[in-house]
Each structure stands twice: as C-alpha cells, then as structure tokens.
Amino acid sequence: MSVEHVVVVGSGIAGAAAAFALARRGVGVSVIDSNSTGRATSAGAGIIQPWATNAAGPYYDLYALGAGYYPTLLDRLALVESTPVDFQRNGSLVVSADGGELDDVEKRVRGRAESAPLVGELSRLDNSAARELFPPLGGEYSALLIPGGARVDGRSLREGLLSAAGSLGARILGGTATLDADGRVHCDGVRVSADATVVAAGCWTNALLEPLGVRLPVAPQRGQIVHLGLAGVDTSPWPSVIPQTSHYLVAFDDSRVVVGATREADGGFDARVTAAGQQEVLANALAVAPGLAGATVLETRVGLRPLADSPQIGRLPGVPGLFVSTGFGAGGLTMGPVSGELIADLIMEDDPQMDVGAFAPEAQPTNGAAI
C-alpha cells in the first residue's frame, strides 16, 4: 500500500523509535502522547546486555538484535538534530557466589559471542578484581566480565528519538488517543487521518483496542526501582552488576546507582511506590552490594511494563493498516528501538532485519468479533 502518513499512538521507546524510523524514511508522522502516569520508559534501568539471559529462540534473537542495533541507532541520531542520548558501554558484571553458576553463564555467553561481536573478550574475575570495578560489591562474589555490556538512560533515549523525529518533520500531539470501531484514530475527539496506525501504547494497549472487540495478551507489571546517591564518588566507570536473580545494579555518571526492580503482576495500573516494594529492592541490593548501605535514597521510580509471553509486533488481524508494537516487559529498552525499525519495515513493505512472524499479534475477540 502507498503510505504517506502514519499515526503512532504512544511515545515511549517503542513509539518514539517507530516515529523516528518512519520519519527517517520520509514518511509524515504524528505521535500522540498521552503522558500516562507509570510509563515504563521513565523508570527503566537501561541495561543493554542480552547475552547472559536464559532466554532462547526468537525472543533471544530479538533481544540480541536490539543490543546489536544500538551503534547503528546512535550513528543515525548523530546525523540529524536531536537531544543527546546518555549511553555508555561500561561493561557488565555477572556475579555469583557459586563458581559453577558462573561456568554455566560463561559457556552460554561464549557460544553466543560468535554471532555477537559486541560481547567483547570475556574475563573471569575473583572478588578482589570485581570490587576494583564495582567497589560496593559483597566479599563472597566472583564475576564474569562482559565488556560489551552497556546502559542507557531511557528518558534521554526517548527524548533523543522524538527530537530526531521532530527534526525530520514529525508532529508530537499531546492528548488522549482513541480508536473507533473501524480502527480510525482520534486525539481528544478529533480525527487524525493516516494511511497506517502504530499502536505502541504499552500496557494501555488493550484499552485502546477495546472498540475493535479484540485484546492482546498484554498486562501491566509494576516495577519499582530505587535511585541511590553516593556523594563525592565517581561512579561513571562502574559496570552494571547482574546477580543470578531478577534484580540488578546500574551505575550512572552523577554519583548515582540505580537498583531494582520489583516484578509485580498483581498491581494493575497502580503506579504507587509501596513499602513492600522499597523493602524488596533495597534488601536485594544490599545483599549483593553491602557497600551501598550508607547511600542516600534519592528517589523511587515506578514503571508499568507491558508484560506478555512474547513481544507483539506486526499487523493486527482484521483491521487494515493497524500495527502494534508492545509486550517487551523488562526488555523494552533493548528491544524497543529495533522494534521501531521492524514496524517501519512492515509498514513500508521493506525486507525486515529479522522474520517477526513469531511475534505476530495474538489478538483474541472480546465480544464475538471475527479475527
């Protein structure tokens, strides 16, 4: 189909990346930004290191593709007027008190390094060497250093993508987006005409799709993440720290270490900081890095991740010109940017960088509608 204008609903990483990818191809773009409380992008820690994960199959392939896409993305942003993106490749320490556990991780990462040159030269570190890189680390941990591990500030990435898209002619519309029963987009009740629509509304996707009588297997997962300050300490070269749990520690340049995160599937759309969440995050962080006990608690951010069994990327069945990009869970800052490219490829009928058939939207009827 001929595509001259696309509406992108949602301005988190998935939506901002789609807007930039389309604008870069010369397509007119309107982004509708509802600025919903609890947007996942605003709270993500931003670890870009997929190679140590237990995940396999198409999910891992997309995860790795996302990490490998960052150098290209940053080069493309540098070619247009955009705000700076806070991205650093400081390495990643996978830590454990169990040497056998690290053996398993090292074997897995070495096997993947053949097709992922960004991994770099792996190193096994004893506790003393690991603490030279991340001083607060507990004394019982040894580590696997993955030099290619990186981190990105999600807020700066979002602003960089949106400003770059804007410099290429995209419009950012503040307001509340709705779809009608025919899949047409409205912003605060005013129709926004387009040849195609990208729904990148995160965990709010199903509310948007309700008039169509379908829903996707996407639900909110609350993530609470604590920012700690270490006054006078240069944290800028510190690597991220990944224990063999769902928690992590990520250092940024301004004497700040981000620790988290909870994975709460029963919190709905409640974006509050809770006492239990704070306790869980701090207890896990101090168990791994007791040297952070004297840090200042600067703030706690809460994000509602769009959680699904698998990312949802592609054309929504039965609705011409409607595409979705969501369901990345905790991997949104790694997968989101490249998903924008994949969606743009599908809309423009270009050959995508990978076959996204495994991520085809799993739409289910809510009122007997045909799919």
Domain extents in the chain: 5-42+155-218+309-365, 92-148+219-307
In this structure, what token pair is assigned to residue 192?
Answer: 């926004």
Whether pTM exceeds 0.85: yes
- 138-156 CB burial, b ≥16 within 10 A, e <16: beebbbbbbbbbbbbbbbe
In this structure, what token pair is assigned to residue 182?
Answer: 């025919």
Q: What confidence tens digit (pLDDT) does each residue in 337-361 have?
A: 999 999 999 999 998 889 999 999 9
Q: How far is CA 106 from the centre of its chain?
A: 24
Q: What confidence tens digit (pLDDT) does each residue in 106-135 have?
A: 999 999 999 999 999 999 999 999 999 999
The predicted pLDDT at position 367 comes to: 64
In this structure, what token pair is assigned to residue 268?
Answer: 């709905």
* Class of 92-148+219-307 in CATH: alpha beta
Q: How does the average pLDDT of the chain come out, rounded? A: 94
Q: What is the mean pLDDT of residues 286-302?
A: 97
Q: In which band, very low, low, confident or very high, does the pLDDT at 92 lie, cut at 50, 70 and 90? A: very high
Q: Determine what percent of the chain is predicted with pLDDT higher than 70.
A: 98
Q: How far is CA 62 from the centre of its chain?
A: 12
Strand pairing class (185-187; 296-307): unpaired
Q: Is the pLDDT of residue 78 over 80?
A: yes
Q: How far is CA 31 from CA 7, 124, 192, 278, in A?
A: 6, 46, 10, 34
The predicted pLDDT at position 370 comes to: 43
CATH 3.50.50.60 fits 5-42+155-218+309-365, yes or no: yes
